[in-house]
Amino acid sequence: PAETMEELVSLCKRRGFIFPGSDIYGGLQGTYDYGPLGVELKNNLKAAWWRANVYERDDIEGLDASILTHRLVLFYSGHEATFSDPLVDNRISKKRYRLDHLLKEQKPSVLQALSQAMGLHQEESLAALVSRLLAEPEKAALAMSTAQVIDPADGAPGDWTPPRPFNMMFKTQIGPVADEDSYGYLRPETAQGIFINFKNVLDATSRRLPFGIAQIGKAFRNEITPRNFIFRVREFEQMEIEYFVKPGTDEEWHQRWLETRLAWWEAQGIPREQIRVLDVPKEDLSHYSKRTFDLMYNFPTLGFEEIEGIANRSDYDLGSHTKGQAELKIQARVLENHHSTAKLAVQDPETKEWFVPFVIEPSAGVDRAVLAVLSQAYTKEKLENGEERIVLKLKPHLAPIKVAVIPLAKNKEEITSYARRLKADLQALGFGRVLYEDTGNIGKAYRRHDEVGTPFCVTVDYDTIGKSQDGSTTLQDTVTVRDRDTMQQERVAVKELPQYLLERLKS
Ligand code: ATP
């Protein structure tokens, strides 16, 4: 794995995986653009998730809901009221921080003094301290100054404003008339699009419990402090499943999904020992959650941080968005809904009673997955000749380029046209991108393809076209295949190449 975030960032820029957003105008904080190789890696990762969850199971349907979202969706979901992070400013440095992030950077003695000043026991969690500070903002400002809370930017004690909640949703005007009601939101999670389509999907597919709906798409959060490369950004993608189950079976399904998801990460090259499962403490749970497991990957520089949350959302969401709440014995605490036109419930086949399903939600970030996969694959090797090589040991199904076809002589028409034909034939096999590579010498090409994780380089030379130096034609229609990980080279007959590659590109 990579040792530092910097070496990853540098590789990503150098080889065209990821660039800072709006770079030529000074950048737009919290946005990144995926370059030629980044888009391939990201697409491959999303395809692997879709394949595992939609195609290889028979209990999950796909969906692609709109990003622009009616404000009532996010009112009844609870996001208008509670989807906020605590914010605090330092009046001296003019720096702005997320309160919990700021507190994480403080020495234990500072936190102790702060807890004491707020009337808390010192062994209370950080979350408890944050909510106490938010509950009494004036007192909090004073306490933060007397406890000498440090500004991480300059290491000096700050003059802190009272902390306040900051809603992270991007509000946007919809339509040409800017009146009071003409706004909506960019969705802060893809999940809500699934809940509000529950009845549509049910009616269209005649599904019975348990079943799920899967969606991959963009989500937007106005993060107070986007940071750590693509780990925390304002525009990102999520891969979410809402898996609907009968109340009472939810805890068992929650455990099953935990195992299923860990196995999926392993298949993407992330071994279990690199993931810590956090059983999120009660006081840290989101407003909708009964229980949540966070999967924390051991990132370089950052340490263990969340890549996926697997939440038991109870009957909160369907219960919030359904009409006729009163008859449905909803267990979660939901807002009274006066607007919904759909009954988001199912009928028990035996008792004929209507009830609201519980939901288990595995929710993974695509960008964090890209970062984790890149980080895990990044390998520095000392070679026998004393040189060092960087190689991305990506699982073949994730590699941006599967095979590079390299003509050994760039100005020998017979060789280049043979290589181009071979490229087209391999491309037609459908396992992903095959690149015709004729830049630089062969050594440089190998090194570049090691660095971007191309599993195989195929070289077309004089032997291939039947023009060996010794005049023999025994190697005609054979090519050299070089393996990324072992660097071994093998001579393979061109007519056996498709089978050879197909077998080895399965991961
Ligand atoms: P965090 O605590 O890190 O802000 P979260 O718990 O708010 O994350 P969820 O609401 O559970 O995140 O979202 C599910 C997944 O979406 C996360 O596990 C993460 O992979 C991804 N995600 C959330 N916020 C961001 C972000 N700002 N940038 C990139 N990915 C994100």
Testing ligand 1's pocket by substitution, the residue of 234, 306, 363 carrying the most ligand atoms inside 8 A of its CB is 306
Percentage of the residues of the chain whose pLDDT score is greater than 90: 94
Percentage of the residues of the chain whose pLDDT score is greater than 70: 100
Site of tokens 């006729």: 324
* pLDDT value of position 463: 97
User: pLDDT tens digits for 250-263?
Assistant: 999 999 999 999 99
125 pLDDT band (50/70/90 cuts)? confident
Mean predicted confidence (pLDDT) in 363-384: 97
User: Minimal CA–CA distance to 197: which of 181, 221, 217?
Assistant: 217
What is the secondary structure of 383-408 as a DSSP string?
-TTS-EEEEE---GGG-S-SEEEEES
- Residue 121 pLDDT > 90: no
389 pLDDT band (50/70/90 cuts)? very high
Interval between CA 114 and ligand 1 midpoint (Å): 28
Mean pLDDT (the chain, rounded) = 96
| pTM, entire model | 0.95
Q: What's the distance, Cα to Cα, between the start and end of the chain in Å?
A: 19
Most confident range, picked from 81-85, 122-126, 454-458: 454-458
Residue 98 and residue 102: Cα distance in Å, rounded? Answer: 6
Site of tokens 């003094």: 113
440 pLDDT band (50/70/90 cuts)? confident
Interval between CA 381 and ligand 1 midpoint (Å): 33
**Cβ neighbours of residue 56 closer than 8 Å, sequence gap 6 or more:** none
Site of tokens 């993608």: 237
- Residue 296 pLDDT > 90: yes
- Helices 5-15 and 442-451: crossing angle in degrees, nearest 10, is 130
Testing ligand 1's pocket by substitution, the residue of 236, 302, 305, 371 carrying the most ligand atoms inside 8 A of its CB is 236
Testing ligand 1's pocket by substitution, the residue of 46, 232, 302, 373 carrying the most ligand atoms inside 8 A of its CB is 232
What is the secondary structure of 186-199 as a DSSP string?
E-SSSHHHHHTTHH
Instruction: Report whether residue 306 contacts ligand 1, using a CB cutoff of 6 Å.
Output: yes
* pLDDT value of position 219: 98
Interval between CA 365 and ligand 1 midpoint (Å): 6
127 pLDDT band (50/70/90 cuts)? confident
Which ranges in 196-342 belong to alpha helices (H)? Answer: 198-205, 250-267, 316-321
* pLDDT value of position 286: 86
- Residue 175 pLDDT > 80: yes
268 near 369, Cβ under 8 Å?
yes
What are the two backbone dihedrals, phi and then psi, of residue 294, each rounded to the nearest 5 degrees? -100, 130
- Helices 366-377 and 36-50: crossing angle in degrees, nearest 10, is 110
Which ranges in 83-125 belong to alpha helices (H)? Answer: 99-104, 108-117
Helix (H, G, I), strand (E, B) or coil at 286: coil
Instruction: Report whether residue 233 contacts ligand 1, using a CB cutoff of 6 Å.
Output: yes
Residue 368 and residue 222: Cα distance in Å, rounded? Answer: 17
Q: Which atom of ligand 1 is nearest to the CA of 311?
A: 11
Mean predicted confidence (pLDDT) in 429-445: 94
* pLDDT value of position 446: 96
Cis before 210? omega within 30: yes
Helix (H, G, I), strand (E, B) or coil at 467: coil
- Residue 507 pLDDT > 80: no
Interval between CA 30 and ligand 1 midpoint (Å): 13
How large is the C-alpha radius of gyration of the chain? 27
Cα 7 to Cα 3, 23, 267, 389: the distances in Å are 8, 20, 24, 13
Which ranges in 222-377 belong to alpha helices (H)? Answer: 250-267, 316-321, 366-377
User: pLDDT tens digits for 330-345?
Assistant: 999 999 999 999 999 9
* pLDDT value of position 290: 95
Residue 396 and residue 89: Cα distance in Å, rounded? Answer: 47
ipTM confidence: 0.98
Interval between CA 187 and ligand 1 midpoint (Å): 13
- What is the residue with the minimal CA distance to atom 22 of ligand 1? 365
Mean predicted confidence (pLDDT) in 16-30: 97
362 near 289, Cβ under 8 Å?
no
